[in-house]
Structure 1
């Protein structure tokens, strides 16, 4: 039993380190931009780097909070998911491919709405690693695939898939930032 726990804890640590690596790639990129560049939009309906970073913060903060609530409810003996686990065993890339439209509408709770300096949102996004590490420390091995926290677009995701989603989501938006950078006036 001790060996199994160690192997699974390594899986949690691996998932968290993958999110950290994605976060660092993203932050390294946005911190190279001036405030003017971070605020620049090619058109009114396109998010700028500040909007994207605020969105990442709001989405991840809500996701970590939701996972933690599900974990605690389960430990308190409350049922947390009663539906079918139809994404069981799939990677987040497979799930997104099956469930997302090419241009998805952001859930209101994760929509950027405050704006402001890129430094604030970069620091806020970076601070979420503390919450994620603390959650991972509390997480038991068996909970990675037994706990379900539904995503507003993709539906029921287990905690492993939720960790994968955090990494995927940051990288997805890093690609948007890179695209914006290529369009910025020089």
Structure 2
């Protein structure tokens, strides 16, 4: 297994853990939230879908722009050689505001968003087939909060982001169950 495949497998594992976390929620439970400032399980799942869709689209566009000479091929940027955890620690505030493009906005059923989020794995795997291992450390598109990242870090971010929201949903479920 090469490094691209390993990173994609890590995202798949995180995705499956997240989906397992919400697998037994009823639609009623999925809509529950303790207050208006907290996203419910549907909103978290919709957000993960939009964030991943935008992230993969951005990576793919950037990859082809680099290959076609429309963007500079560079390995030098301020987050070079840092793990995604280190980058988030350096760049994120405690209650970061979600970029509008990744915000939950359509609502709907948990079933729809679970299926949509699961299907992003197919898109990610198709992107990974296009990405060459020697391109992993090329600077990819900027993250709206963290700034410049390379393709390796962007793939790490997908895993990190899913795990972060799995923790939020776990806390939400725990709070709901304690009532």
TM-score, length of structure 1 as denominator length: 0.92
Show the 5 A alignment for 1:13-24: 13-24=5-16
- Give distance in 1, aligned partners of 2:167 and 2:112: 21
- Give distance in 2, aligned partners of 1:180 and 1:97: 23
- Give distance in 1, aligned partners of 2:21 and 2:111: 12
Would the aligned equivalents of 1:80 and 1:148 in 2 still touch at CA under 8 Å? no
What stretches of structure 1 of length at least 5 have no aligned partner?
A: 1-8
Show the 5 A alignment for 1:86-125: 86-125=78-117
In the other structure, the counterpart of 1:155 is 147
1:113 partner SS: coil
- Give distance in 2, aligned partners of 1:128 and 1:80: 28
Cα distance, 1:48 vs. partner? Answer: 0.3
Cα distance, 1:75 vs. partner? Answer: 1.2
Would the aligned equivalents of 1:22 and 1:167 in 2 still touch at CA under 8 Å? yes
Would the aligned equivalents of 1:81 and 1:148 in 2 still touch at CA under 8 Å? no
Cα distance, 1:142 vs. partner? Answer: 1.5
- Give distance in 2, aligned partners of 1:66 and 1:99: 20
Cα distance change on mapping 1:84 and 1:140 into 2, 3 Å: closer
Residue-by-residue CA offset, 1:89-140 (whole Å, 9 max, x unaligned): 0000000000000110000000001111000000000000001000000111
TM-score, length of structure 2 as denominator length: 0.95
Cα distance, 1:149 vs. partner? Answer: 1.5
Cα distance, 1:147 vs. partner? Answer: 3.4
Size of the aligned set, in residue pairs, is: 178
Matched, 1:67 2:59: yes
What stretches of structure 2 of length at least 5 have no aligned partner?
A: none
- Give distance in 1, aligned partners of 2:90 and 2:76: 16
Cα distance, 1:80 vs. partner? Answer: 4.7
Supply the RMSD in Å over aligned alpha carbons.
1.5
Structure 1: 4+ residue segments shifted above 2 A: 80-84
- Give distance in 2, aligned partners of 1:121 and 1:150: 26
Cα distance, 1:29 vs. partner? Answer: 1.0
Cα distance, 1:179 vs. partner? Answer: 0.3
